[in-house]
Structure 1
């Protein structure tokens, strides 16, 4: 009897043991697949971020490495620097104008496409096409279009509306702030036009997907209650699109705060730094001036400015999922 009981017990426990072993094997197999990616991200993303932060606190501002501790000297220098103050001003107004226009145009064009217009696919392709181009290509094309002596200005000269576009050094509604004139640089508007032209298609795609996901029953119920089409969009549709608007803001802010290639290809720093941005300043400071600590400090400031938008969004997304 004892032998029979032992056999029965073994037959019951054995499948569970095999299952645990199989789960353990699958667990370690999954880890072995993602481990190389974890190691590479740890080294080439977070490791280099840490290294950049370390360099930004050093005295390495020449070809000869100098890792002696400098504290916040490089950051203090930047915030007292005329060019960096101009960069912060340009980035602020570029971001505000860029995000605002992308959202307004994205919503407007998406609502038009949602009306089931004839030839919708053609318009959709036209709006989405600029997204297939790089910012470098966009910068070169718009540089020619807005050049003071070619492109659009040839037409504007004939009707008496000649404009200097991205070579204009005037500041709209400017007032003295620190070492700079704080206001909207006229030249940055040309860069905003080029950036909006390229990225509006992304917002159109996002809003169009959101509009198509809203059930028609909601609109029909509002019409039965006597709501006009304007009221339906203002009180129902646009509030339902708010999560998409938040996503568009986060993505566009991420692009605008680290913008480099469009500015570099289209205008460069500009006269009196009216189109300069931290990305261009960091590139020239680090790889042309060999001021590695100052360049690293600019990079860390750019990282923190992007994190201000990204981190709260990620935290709220995690809370929403849980």
Structure 2
């Protein structure tokens, strides 16, 4: 009875949130999974479009177009995460060392994060225009004006894997400042005594960062990788804004799901696609949550 009195008011306070999350998050996930396992037929021809059960997932995973979308996602994720981590770490190190006008530079680096992916995509669609030579605009026109026309590119409309590497450029530009802020907060949380002790022991600046500072910001790096990884896997609005609704060359599972749901009128296939995306994100996020929970328990112990 005493335990009920202790837990009753807090549980009553959070119960509306629990109910809403249960219905609109986990409930809808359940509906999506059920939809992905359904058997559907074409209303006009009567042909079975989705055989039902796990066969729906098998058909989707063996589809050449979906495999192309998964490959694009892999290229986008690798380039996006690598570029964002490198630039974010570089900028944080420069600011951490105390440059003049740090507040101005910090604001400049963080400003892209305040812009929505849709607005950024509209601007970058012009910058990454595939038009070349006399019709060149955006970056290609800049290369022509600078006398280096050989740097012109087809960007995201290329048929090679470079198209998704180019698609990662706007995402890197937009989120590098956020990663910089994470690393900068990690560096600023390290006491000055440790730095001074390392310098007294004769450590160079490189040795200071390598053996003292970088190991202590490794949890920040892990958190940043998890955040960037799950963002890239479900990226839709930026790609949609730049490449359009039906771009095969820049297609990823999220944009392919839009095509399945609307132009193809295949909600079962779209639900299977969404479930696979959820599973990929869960594979990345759940181990991190388990690691974080264990670390917190060890810290309290």
Q: Fold conserved (TM > 0.5)? A: yes
Cα distance change on mapping 1:216 and 1:61 into 2, 3 Å = farther
**Match status 1:60 vs 2:40:** yes
How high is the TM-score relative to the length of structure 1?
0.84
Mapped to 2, the partners of 1:61 and 1:257 lie a distance apart of 30
Could you list the structure 1 runs, at least 4 aligned residues long, displaced by more than 3 angstroms after superposition: 23-26, 60-64, 268-271
Given that 1:62 and 1:292 are in contact with CA atoms closer than 8 Å, whether structure 2 keeps it comes out as no
- Deviation of 1:31 after TM superposition, in Å, equals 1.5
Contact preservation (8 Å) 1:286, 1:295: yes
SS in 2 for 1:192: helix
Other-structure match for 1:249: 225
The alpha-carbon deviation at position 63 of structure 1 amounts to 7.3
Which whole-Å deviations, capped at 9, do the CAs of 1:75-116 have from their partners, x for residues lacking one?
111111111001110111111111111111111100101122
Structure 1 residues 113-170: Cα deviation after superposition (integer angstroms, max 9, x where no partner): 112211100000000001101111111111111113311111212422221111211x
Report the counterpart of residue 117 of structure 1 in structure 2.
Answer: 99
TM-score by length of 2: 0.89
2:57 alignment partner in structure 1: 75
Match of 1:9 in 2: none
Aligned length: 285
User: Counterpart in 1 of 2:14?
Assistant: 34
Cα contact 1:135–1:261 (8 A) shared by 2: yes
Specify the structure having the higher radius of gyration (Cα).
1
Q: Distance in 1 between matches of 2:43 and 2:272?
A: 17
Look up the match of 2:158. 168
C-alpha RMSD of matched pairs (Å):
1.9
- Structure 1: which 5+ residue stretches go unaligned? 1-19, 172-184
What is the CA-CA distance between 1:24 and the residue it aligns to?
A: 4.3
| Compared CA separation, residues 69 and 36, structure 1 to 2 (3 A) | farther
1:321 paired to 2:301: no
Q: How far is 1:288 from its partner? A: 2.4
